[in-house]
Amino acid sequence: MARTLYDKIWDEHVVHTEEDGTSVLYIDRHLVHEVTSPQAYEGLRQAGRKVWRVSSVVATADHNTPTTGWELGYDGIADPISKEQIVTLDSNIQEFGAAAFFPFMSKRQGIVHVIGPENGATLPGMTVVCGDSHTSTHGAFGALAHGIGTSEVEHVLATQTLLAKKARNMLIKVEGQLPKGCTAKDIVLAIIGKIGTAGGTGYTIEFAGSAIRALSMEGRMTVCNMAIEGGARAGLVAVDDKTIEYVKGRPLAPTGVEWDQAVAYWKTLHSDPDAVFDTVVELDASQILPQVTWGTSPEMVLDVTAAVPDPDKEKDPNKRNAMERALTYMGLQPGKPLADIHVDKVFIGSCTNSRIEDMREAAAVVKKLGQKVAKNVKLAMVVPGSGLVKEQAEREGLHEVFRAAGFEWREPGCSMCLAMNADRLEPGERCASTSNRNFEGRQGAGGRTHLVSPAMAAAAAIHGHFVDIRTIA
Ligand SMILES: CC(C)[C@H](C(=O)O)[C@@H](O)C(=O)O
Ligand code: SF4
């Protein structure tokens, strides 16, 4: 029978299925960070258990790590809870082991969803889990990847398996060519605008079509990263030459004969031409304009050419209430053109948009505009996703471009994506952010987040308000 890519990876990893569909799934790669692992390791310790397959574990510290003051070492971590989580990860990995560990301040440290692919820890056809919802990112490699809870982290550490139920298959096809200046971020925001944050609930989404194929691996990661914001636990892109090229030579990628065997298998990792999907959604890439969120959910998104919507025009009372609440929180009036919204801060970073291509796109806009960060923008910060991204960007002189324009160039980590470290919005502050969540308080209590692409964020920093990137790119 014809199978989807999801069916193929699932079949390859199912150990056992109960009558009600509950299955035991074998896990190939377990990514670990400091926030969701302490209790899991403590559980192992109390039960006197070891990690089942140490070689499957790859760990790093990312959420709590500071983006300044590294010369102070661990003493530079001001918040005691943050420090404790980071130190606890160090000691847990020392005790339980890992295939690779990139601790705080090591060269390859970074956001777990950036360092996984970067180090070849994420490979096509794998099952990849992490105690983190944006694990969907790794689906860009044709891997079945999704977030798990802390008790599941312990379960996977102890048994190398996960209890799971198979999701349904959704195909999102994006055909055609994006307008100038539009990016993977605009594609995925437009998708979420169309299907809603619950649109993908119960599904694994395969992203396909010529516009997805045309994306770099970085772009595909951006799209899969936000599958979770569209309600799906996992997103997937079929393996092609770009996937294989990206993986080649990475530290944890196979070599020699094993590489050849792996490539032969990876080439089968696409949906069969006659595979049947439960739901199919289609988008025309040429109609996707630069996107800006105006509310407190990623589905509250519009083209930059639009205006803040009017709740009075919404017939559904639940939606109307949500809109009213969002506009009050965001301090916005219906009818205000999105391009007239001024921002106080700009954050370029997060597992959605902190890879080298994102850095390049943002720097290119800054260079092209040739001006400084606008006066009304108190802080514009660029936070590379990993030490390696930072190093590469610096080799290319991108940090100089940012600094010369008045941006801060920081150390890698999650940073102001969720404000677990010292980087945050003050109440009422408005931010153009390349991250993935605009929930109330996400970037600091009372902070107001507008999700955009790196190019749009860079342009907003220079102009002080949102601009249609097509007029610049
Ligand atoms: C801290 C972690 C559990 C959380 C997640 O699962 O996504 C975080 O990464 C986030 O983005 O909100
Ligand atoms: S960058 Fe943001 S979304 Fe990604 S893992 Fe860190 S906190 Fe979560």
Class of the CATH domain delimited by 291-471: alpha beta
- Report the atom number in ligand 2 closest to the C-alpha of 417: 2
Rounded average pLDDT over 312-325: 97
**Token output for 261:** 């065997």
| Ligand 2 pocket, Cβ-based, cut-off 6 angstroms | 62-63, 111, 113, 132, 134, 350-351, 414, 417-418, 435-436
pLDDT digits (tens, 9 = 90+) for 210-242: 999 999 999 999 999 999 999 999 999 999 999
Which of 148, 221, 228, 414 for mutating ligand 2's site (highest number of atoms within 8 Å of CB)?
A: 414
How wide is the angle at C-alpha 110 spanned by C-alphas 107 and 114, nearest 5°? 120
Which of 64, 415, 418, 431 for mutating ligand 2's site (highest number of atoms within 8 Å of CB)?
A: 418
How are beta strands 14-17 and 22-26 bridged, if at all? antiparallel
Structure pTM? Answer: 0.98
Class of the CATH domain delimited by 1-289: alpha beta
- Report the atom number in ligand 1 closest to the C-alpha of 436: 11
Q: Is the ipTM of this complex over 0.90?
A: yes
Average pLDDT, the chain: 98
pLDDT digits (tens, 9 = 90+) for 419-438: 999 999 999 999 999 999 99
Nearest CA to ligand 1 atom 7: 133
Q: How confident is the model at residue 473 (pLDDT cuts 50, 70, 90)?
A: confident
Q: What is the pLDDT of residue 368?
A: 98
Q: Single out the residue of 127, 125, 119, 112 nearest to residue 225, CA to CA.
A: 112
18 pLDDT more than 90: yes
Q: Give me the residue label for tokens 């205006």.
A: 307
Q: Single out the residue of 459, 204, 250 nearest to residue 341, CA to CA.
A: 459
Q: How confident is the model at residue 249 (pLDDT cuts 50, 70, 90)?
A: very high
Domains 1-289 and 291-471 share a fold: yes
Q: Single out the residue of 340, 384, 451 nearest to residue 115, CA to CA.
A: 384
Q: What is the pLDDT of residue 330?
A: 98
155 pLDDT more than 90: yes
User: HEC string of 35-104?
Assistant: CCCHHHHHHHHHHCCCCCCHHHEEEECCCCCCCCCHHHHHHHCCCHHHHHHHHHHHHHHHHHCCCEEECC
pLDDT digits (tens, 9 = 90+) for 103-138: 999 999 999 999 999 999 999 999 999 999 999 999
Helix (H) / strand (E) element for 14: namely: strand 14-17
Partnered with residue 342 across adjacent β-strands are 465
> What is the Cα–Cα distance from 37 to 76, expressed in whole angstroms?
22
> What is the Cα–Cα distance from 103 to 138, expressed in whole angstroms?
21
Helix 217-225 with 184-195: angle, nearest 10 deg: 30
* Contact (CB, 8 A) for 106 and 388: no
Domain ranges of the chain: 1-289, 291-471
